[in-house]
Amino acid sequence: MKSKYFFLLVVLVSLFITSNASAQGVFEYGTKKCKYTSIVPENKDRDWTKTGKNEWTPLTENAMLHQIAEKCSGWYFQPGVFGAYTNLTQDIDANTSVSVKEFSPKAELVIGYDFCTGHRNGVHPRNFALSVEAKVQLTKIPTLRYQELTYTKDGYVPTVGANLVLHFTKHKPWQFSLYGGAGYTRLTSYYPQATEVGSVRRIAHNTLSYEAGVQIMKRVKIGHSIGIKAGYEKIQTTHLGRGQFSIGFVWKFKKTHKSKSMTYVEYYSLTH
């Protein structure tokens, strides 16, 4: 293409680099599922000039660009940090129980898989979707004492389990979800004054934990979403229980896919 014709195109049309559904057919990723996309100019300092937020104009007809995509279905990694309000209870006998309440930190690591539920009428992606998650949590519990005996010592208690996440605004700017699940937690009661040979010094309570809550996420760029997650977790054994409210920040990392590169002229001819 001659240079005069190229620069005429630049005058008539400036390339808007953003999430662009109309350009999805130009780039192939080997999937029929929905995806979020963004067009990225290459060699920005040399071949492009920035003319606005997310807006670039090519300086040469050989300016290269490619597209990155985040598929709606696929694996993700989601760490989180929380503040928690913990209520730890211990039943001493049929008529006596003790409890202690404390604000404490909590950390979570989630590996999940998003399922895409397809498109309505073959055009619009559905806003209802679901995810399944495997989780590992670490929560600090307080010291719980009864008279001169220490029944639980403060420290970090792990939980492993799984959640099901229901998304109700999957393809909106803000993603509202409900989640719930179960896990396995070990809480331990200590009896430091049990000094006789053969006496019980500690009892491990192997139990299930149940959790439910709400999550609100915002995609900040392709492959990255941040949000707030709040929920309640309940653990109850025969004599030891823990209830916990928590709220915190989560960051979702998802794999992105890069298309082959093409020149601006090739891109323009395929999309106009």
Contacts of 115 (CB under 8 A, 6+ apart): 73, 129, 130, 131, 132
- What pLDDT, on the 0 to 100 scale, is given for residue 17? 45
* Alpha carbon of residue 146 to chain centroid: 40
Return the SS3 of 73: coil
pLDDT over threshold 80, residue 127: yes
pLDDT over threshold 60, residue 23: no
Residues in the chain: 272
The CA radius of gyration of the chain, in Å to the nearest whole number, is 27
How far is 101 from 85, CA to CA, in rounded Å?
Answer: 7
Return the SS3 of 246: strand
Closest CA to 11 of 48, 50, 57: 57
Tokens representing residue 235 in the block: 């653990």
How far is 77 from 218, CA to CA, in rounded Å?
Answer: 15
What H or E segment, with its residue span, contains residue 46? helix 44-47
Q: Lowest mean pLDDT of 68-77, 91-100, 115-124, name the range.
A: 115-124
78-87, pLDDT tens digit by residue?
999 999 999 9
The rounded mean pLDDT for the chain is 82
135-174, pLDDT tens digit by residue?
999 999 888 887 767 777 788 989 999 999 999 998 888 9
Closest CA to 135 of 179, 98, 74, 92: 179
With bands split at pLDDT 50, 70 and 90, how would you rate the model's confidence at 269? Answer: confident
Name the residue with higher pLDDT: 241 or 6: 241
Q: Within a 10 A sphere around the Cβ of 241, how many other Cβ atoms?
A: 19
- The percentage of the chain sitting over the pLDDT mark of 90, rounded to a whole number, equals 35
Contacts of 124 (CB under 8 A, 6+ apart): none
194-246, pLDDT tens digit by residue?
666 555 567 777 788 999 999 999 999 899 999 999 999 998 777 778 899 99
Return the SS3 of 147: coil
